[in-house]
Amino acid sequence: MSVSRRDFLERSAALAAAGFIPRLPDGGFLPGPAAPVDVGSGVFRGRPVVISSANGIRGVKVAFDKMANGEDPLDAAIAGVNIEELDPNNQSVGFGGLPNEEGIVQLDASCMHGPTRRAGSVGCIEDIATPSLVAKAVMDYTDHIMLVGPGAKKFALAMGFKEQNLLTEKSRQDWMRWKSRLNKNDAWLDHDEDIKIKFTTGTINMNAVTSAGDIGSVTTTSGMSWKISGRVGDSPIIGAGQYCDNTVGAAGSTGRGEANIKVCGAFLAVEFMRQGMTPEQSLLQVVERVIAMTEKRLLDERGRPYFDLDFYAVTKDGRYAGVSCFEGSRFAVCDEQGARLETSAYLFKASERPKARAN
């Protein structure tokens, strides 16, 4: 069944409210659960689970419930991250995200669909609150994988997404506080006792696997606060911010994207799992590789990083893990036991975290 752009607009009038766009691997709408995967002599049956960064604690429950009702894992995961993209109080993604140095909110997102081996991505998109959905539309409706900047926005508007100002008053005030500290000779008054400058590399990554072993992954972010206009981190980079392979599993990350891009962390984690490592072993290996590839200015004298970086991974059969550079991180998970936060494995103890960041 072919689907025209008009059909898409009519069926997607409430994209954000509905929480997902139907996937179109062959040009048609395919409602209902994914087909079981035949592996050798029999049908694959695994353990359905959704994992994400800790800020996805509300979303993992939404995603899991959608999968339980037969929805596609990528649609479910995107519905989960939409909750945070549309929440103005979450200043690390979507609406209300902290802006770049010019006071403009620029968003990045990417997604992958295991069963069809397809992917979509957008970078530096402005005025669209749900870049995860735009990334999926790129995947579903184009022969491309990544659209950026004005082109990504133009595409989103053509697909029926609504334009809106993403800079909330709360985020604008935080930007003004940061801006006031840039030059001691400017006309702004410094008030050390009551001005606290926010810095964030916050992101949300979510990975979902059905009982049939079908996988979807998505990462979305407003990126590093006060970044140079046009900066792109790892979130929209397939293989860095997220990656999934329906024969193995999925992985993703949050934190300093510049450190992760250089090792293609999500792809590397999936490849380690392909070799037989557990999710936790795979992610610990990735973190070690990240640090090995980090320039000296970002490490203390003991080789400990000044930055934060967290990874999340799940296998086709439902095993999962979260790993951080330092002790103390948590991640969100939802399975048949419900949604909860679990403690991440780590490479270094909290006491080993550097006291100050590098310039």
Position 180 scores a pLDDT of 80
Position 290 scores a pLDDT of 97
Beta bridge partners, 339, equal: 334
Position 190 scores a pLDDT of 58
Position 187 scores a pLDDT of 59
The structure tokens 């997902």 sit at 20
Name 294's Cβ contacts closer than 8 Å, sequence gap at least 6: 259, 305
Position 202 scores a pLDDT of 74
Position 25 scores a pLDDT of 34
The structure tokens 């752009």 sit at 5
For the chain, 359 residues long, the average pLDDT of each consecutive 10-residue run is 48 40 34 38 77 97 97 98 96 94 97 98 98 98 98 98 96 89 63 59 91 97 95 97 98 96 98 98 98 96 94 98 97 97 97 75
Cβ pair 216, 60 in contact under 8 A? no
Annotated catalytic residue within 116, 130, 203, 221? 203
Position 154 scores a pLDDT of 98
CA–CA distance, 254 with 243 (Å, rounded to integer): 13
CA–CA distance, 144 with 221 (Å, rounded to integer): 21
Position 356 scores a pLDDT of 65
**CATH class held by domain 43-180+198-352:** alpha beta
Position 105 scores a pLDDT of 97
Beta bridge partners, 335, equal: 338
Cβ pair 71, 63 in contact under 8 A? no
Position 194 scores a pLDDT of 52
CA–CA distance, 63 with 216 (Å, rounded to integer): 11
| End-to-end C-alpha distance for the chain, whole angstroms | 56
Q: Where are the domains of the chain?
A: 43-180+198-352
Catalytic residue check, 200 = no
Position 355 scores a pLDDT of 82
Cα 192 → chain centroid: 34
Position 15 scores a pLDDT of 41
Position 19 scores a pLDDT of 38
Position 191 scores a pLDDT of 54
